[in-house]
Amino acid sequence: MPTEQDFILLLNRHQNIIHKVCNLYMDDVAEREDLFQEITLQAWKAFTSFRGDAKFSTWLYRVALNTAITFFRKDKRQPQVLSAEIFPDKTDYHDPVEEQVSAMYKAIGQLSKIDKALVMLYLEDYDYKEIGDLLGITANNVAVKMNRIKTRLKEETKKHYEYS
């Protein structure tokens, strides 16, 4: 039977997962902190159900993503869009790579919560089967969704350069 000490040790070792999810879904620092606490609480509540069939990090991703996706559902919030303040405008110097990264983050910020989760897991080098297992969909469905997301992100970043 897992103990509170086991949970704290594992959570401390893998808290970067929770931070990544919070940063992906929330712009505001206070909202990120609230979401971090809610994910931690939900992970603690579910910890007794962790059987060790999957790695703890995989299990924690599932808890974190499910919590993030549903956390503000009661408030019926609009999808979060990364604000321009995160990427300050440097009028005296323009780095093309920095502009591309900024445009990509902005485009990712406009995705649905599920699509953001797919992108995050993809960028973490999870394969389609692992992503599907985490999100409860088939690997084929993940592949189809990722192709659509990649197309959308290309279109959105292309728009950014057409309007800049």
- The DSSP string of 70-120 is HHTGGGTPPPP---GGGS---TT---HHHHHHHHHHHHHHTS-HHHHHHHH
Which tokens hold the place of 96? 């093309």
Q: What is the mean pLDDT of residues 157-162?
A: 71
Higher pLDDT, 30 or 78: 30
Out of 66-80, 99-113, 142-156, least confident range: 66-80
Q: What are phi and psi of 110, to 5 degrees?
A: -90, -5
Q: Do 1-77 and 81-164 have matching folds?
A: no
Which tokens hold the place of 154? 């290309």
Q: What is the dihedral of CA 124, 47, 114, 54, to 10 degrees?
A: 50
| C-beta atoms surrounding 102 within 10 Å | 19
Task: Write down the pLDDT at residue 43.
Answer: 94
Helix (H), strand (E) at residue 130: helix 128-135
Q: What is the mean pLDDT of residues 93-116?
A: 76
Q: What is the mean pLDDT of residues 23-39?
A: 89
Name the pTM for this structure.
Answer: 0.62
Residues 6+ apart with CB under 8 A from 147: none
- What CATH number matches the domain at 81-164, 3.30.10, 1.10.1740, 1.20.120, 1.10.10? 1.10.10
User: What are the sequence ranges of the domains in the chain?
Assistant: 1-77, 81-164
Is the distance from CB of 123 to CB of 110 less than 8 angstroms? no
81 secondary structure, DSSP code: -
The CATH classification number of 1-77 equals: 1.10.1740.10
For residue 82, what pLDDT band results from cuts at 50, 70 and 90? very low
Q: What is the mean pLDDT of residues 149-159?
A: 87
